Amino acid sequence: MNRHRLAALLALAIGLLTIAEGGMVLLGVETKPYPVLPWLLRYNVVMGVVSLAAGHGLWRGKKWAGTLSRVVLACHGLVFLSLAGMHLLGKTVAVNSIGAMLFRTGIWTGINILIRRKDD
């Protein structure tokens, strides 16, 4: 399996998991035992859909998919820094939310590393 296909599978998996998790909370099917930021919940679901688009584009070898992957990484990085900053300032932010955003940022860093390298 080439690196772009592996990156595509990672993007599709993280997108599906994010939509499923966020969708359950948005629809009221599931509640969390920690404070949920409504804007973060909506952001996560939207970015889950964007992740599916990026994964699809990477799988099909579309040039725009690399750009979209970098945008997703940048957005997640900025949101992660925002959440960490809010936490440091004493604002209400669940540590779970910070950890989840760090995880997403890490996955998208890996995706971007995979697609930057030339296939062997």
What is the structure's pLDDT at 22?
A: 93
Among 97, 78, 81, residue whose Cα is nearest residue 22: 97
Q: Higher model confidence: residue 79 or residue 27? A: 79
| Cα gap 67→112, rounded to integer Å | 10
Among 16, 43, 41, residue whose Cα is nearest residue 30: 41
For the segment 14-68, what is each residue's pLDDT rounded down to a tens digit? 999 999 999 999 898 988 888 899 999 999 999 999 999 999 999 999 999 999 9
Listed by start position, the domains of the chain span 3-116
pTM for the full model? 0.91
| Cα gap 26→45, rounded to integer Å | 9
What is the structure's pLDDT at 35?
A: 87
Q: What are phi and psi of 60, to 5 degrees?
A: -85, 0
Q: Per-residue pLDDT for 80 more than 60?
A: yes
